Amino acid sequence: MKPRSSMDSTNNNNKKRISASPNGSQDELWMGGRKFHPFPSVYLLPCDEDEIDRLHLQHFMIRFAIQGNYLAPVSDMLRKGARVLDVGCGPGSWTMEIAGEYPKSNIVGIDIAQMFPSEIKPTNCSFHQCNILEPLPFEDATFDYVFMRFVAPGVEEAKWESLIDELVRVLKPAGWIELVEGDSELHRPGPMTRYCNDRLIHLMQSRMLDPHAGRRLNERLMARQDLTNTKSTFISCPGGQWAGKLGQLTLHSWKAYYQALRPQICLSSNISEDEYHDLLESCWREADEYKTFENVHFAYAQKQPERD
């Protein structure tokens, strides 16, 4: 059953919710009470305190699911001391955990939004604000390990190749690259969950984003002649009380994610905020009834070593 909507009233409501910052600053864009990136971007998600909390939660969910912070064979390298780049680091959850766990390594996090800490952080950890879709501000062969996770909501499908070009450029020969992305399609959804999920996929496609970026990580790395030893896998993350601790973490992550998407989905699908709220409540009930889950994809590869 499709949620009721009124084209005229919904459009009027959404117009009222889209504005400049309360202080009139041109450096902020507000929609539905959430702060978004002010610069030209297809990125769907906000950059406020609630989004920082969501990203921390998502980090904890993935760490619990794989019982660690990475899958690439880099533990020895990190223990001995390596230069690591975290691309699209967000608030720095992964960045700072790796820095704390491996004090001999130097960890650099970069993101287009300055959500990362400026002062309270490990001494072997630093953050820089930059657009990852532009040439990265590092020399060739700077890092031993390049890690990038959950950037698909901000990367147009046509830009993935050039983005990976840059990641490989700043990677040292014989260094490792690891990519982690979700698949926007939820599996075993109930009818309301399917409707809501379809709205997200339609929104991503309208922005030229790839809703199935995770499924394509392996082929994108395999297609490169400068990479070798490519491996890939995925994990299924169930959402709901039916799936224990991981299910609870995943469901909380879904709730925060779809709340973050509220302004964009309401605007693009002509759904009022009240209708969207009721729709999500139905989705969370359906998660237990239908045993809904999502897949998260991992792919890693090694840069070809220098030839003598």
Average the pLDDT over 218-229 and give the result.
98
Residue 15 confidence (pLDDT) above 80: no
- Give the span between the Cα atoms of 87 and 231, in whole angstroms: 20
Q: pLDDT digit string (tens) for 266-289?
A: 999 999 999 999 999 999 999 999
| Superfamily in which the 7-303 domain is placed by CATH | Vaccinia Virus protein VP39 (3.40.50.150)
pLDDT mean over 169-176: 99
- Would you give the distance in Å from CA 216 to the centre of its chain? 15
In the prediction, which pLDDT does 19 show? 38
Q: What is the pLDDT of residue 2?
A: 40
Q: Which two three-digit tokens encode residue 179?
A: 């990519």
How are beta strands 106-111 and 83-87 bridged, if at all?
Answer: parallel
In the predicted model, is pLDDT for residue 39 greater than 70?
no
pLDDT in tens, 104-163: 999 999 999 889 998 889 999 999 999 999 999 999 999 999 999 999 999 999 999 999
pLDDT at 1: 39
The answer to whether residue 8 scores a pLDDT higher than 50 is no
A 10 A CB-CB count for 244 gives 10
Q: How far apart are CA 65 and CA 236, in angstroms?
A: 9
Give Cα 290 distance to the centre of its chain: 25
Q: What is the pLDDT of residues 84-97, one digit of tens each?
A: 999 999 999 999 99
Residues 6+ apart with CB under 8 A from 261: 44, 45, 200, 203
Q: Is the pLDDT of residue 203 over 70?
A: yes
- Measured in whole angstroms, the distance separating CA 252 from the mean position of its chain's CA atoms is 15
Spatial neighbors of 307 by CB under 8 A, at least 6 apart, are none
- Indicate the pTM of the whole model: 0.90
The residue-averaged pLDDT of 37-54 equals 85
Q: What confidence tier does 51 reach under pLDDT thresholds 50, 70, 90?
A: very high
